[in-house]
Amino acid sequence: MGALWRHGPEGSTDTLTGRVVTGPIGGESKQRHSAPFLETAEGPVQVFVLGDNPFEAASLAARVGETVELSGTWRGLVLRVAPQDITALPSPGGEE
């Protein structure tokens, strides 16, 4: 991914809205893999849903293509969210 990953100050909380998409994460590291993430107007955001396997990301994978609002806490470059803090929103243009 060519865009810079969006992130916030360590330990701060944030509420973001965007579309869940799938693409490469992990930069050029050995941990590089394809995973779902949040594409926001300000840039892509790596999200970890508490309780998920970080390499499977089942909670986000089930929402690929959806527009969501989520709230969580920044840890490093990752926004950590609880499953109950993810809300599906109507898609822009009224598509569901």
Please give the model's pTM, rounded to 2 decimal places. 0.84
Q: Among 85, 90, 77, which Cα is nearest to 45's?
A: 77
Q: What is the pLDDT of residue 70?
A: 96
Average pLDDT of adjacent 10-residue blocks, the chain of 96 residues: 73 95 77 84 93 88 96 94 95 62
SS3 state at 61: helix
- Please provide the CATH number assigned to the domain covering 13-89: 2.40.50
Q: What is the pLDDT of residue 23?
A: 87
